[in-house]
Amino acid sequence: MSRTTRLAGAALVASLALAVSGCSSSNTATDGAAASPTASTPAPAASAPASPSPVDQTLTKAALQQALLTSAEVPAGFKASKPDKGEDMFGKADTTMPASCQPIADIGANDAAIRPSAAVDQDYPQPAKASAMIFSRLVSYQAGDAEKAMTALKVAVKSCATYKSKSSDDGSITRVRLAVQQGPALGDDAVTLDATGDVQGHAVTIRLVDIRIGSSMAVFASLDIN
């Protein structure tokens, strides 16, 4: 198993733990400033520290599949579940207004400006808490594209404390408030964001965790509709 595949698995574990804490987190920052870590935010995993970025090979879909967590590897109360066709969280990117914020919606999407060469999706539902939803995607890119996608994301975050997002499913428009959060120090680069929007009159926050490992990326989104 390659370094990228091993770290991708480690990133999934750390990101899932952070996503769990983010489902009910109210510790947000403003104007793209980083928030202080909360007591519920786990420390970076000691077994997988940040490492220099070598030129990693572009992983195949089969290799990405090997890095996905099984139900035995996720925290108690969760299970691993493959989403139905067309139900994946990251397959299609919403459209942002202004367009300069588009890299935020584009990360990992099949129709992004910087498209992945392979992708696998997996959800982590809690049978005892149906309102809590956690979605993940592992993607690989052609040489240099993962770095470009992450750089574009970081640039967009700096000027997109608020923006509008048009759904790729029904065309509805949501005003999004974005806040950078403390995240796991894994892989070669990482970004953790809280995106808050109003859904049917209620503020809903989605915790987004993006971790780059060489030419691959682990992406998580979590929310609690309660």
Q: What span, in angstroms and rounded, lies between the C-alpha atoms of 145 and 170?
A: 30
Instruction: Match 């609690």 to its residue by tokens.
Output: 224
Say what the pTM is. Answer: 0.78
Structure tokens belonging to residue 106: 């584009």
Instruction: Match 């923006």 to its residue by tokens.
Output: 163
Is 3-84+91-224 CATH 3.40.1000.70? Answer: yes
**Mind listing the pLDDT tens digit of every residue in the chain (226 residues)?**
555 555 555 666 665 665 555 554 444 333 443 333 332 333 333 333 334 344 468 889 999 998 888 888 777 788 889 998 878 889 899 999 999 999 999 999 999 999 999 999 999 888 888 888 889 999 999 999 999 999 999 999 999 999 999 998 888 899 999 999 987 777 889 999 999 998 777 888 999 999 998 999 999 888 887 7
Q: What span, in angstroms and rounded, lies between the C-alpha atoms of 215 and 116?
A: 10
pLDDT of residue 130: 84
pLDDT of residue 140: 94
Structure tokens belonging to residue 42: 């786990």
Our CA angle for 140, 48, 106, nearest 5°, is 30
H/E element holding 96? Answer: strand 95-97
pLDDT of residue 184: 72
Q: How would DSSP label each residue in 161-191? A: SEEEEE-TTT--EEEEEEEE------SSEEE
**What is the DSSP pairing of strand 189-199 with strand 202-213?**
antiparallel
Instruction: Match 């070598």 to its residue by tokens.
Output: 54
Q: Are 50 and 10 contacting, i.e. CB atoms less than 8 angstroms apart?
A: no
CA 67 to chain CA centroid, Å, is: 16
In the chain, domain spans: 3-84+91-224
Strand order in the sheet with 189-199: 95-97, 162-166, 173-180, 189-199, 202-213, 216-224, 132-140, 118-123
pLDDT of residue 4: 56
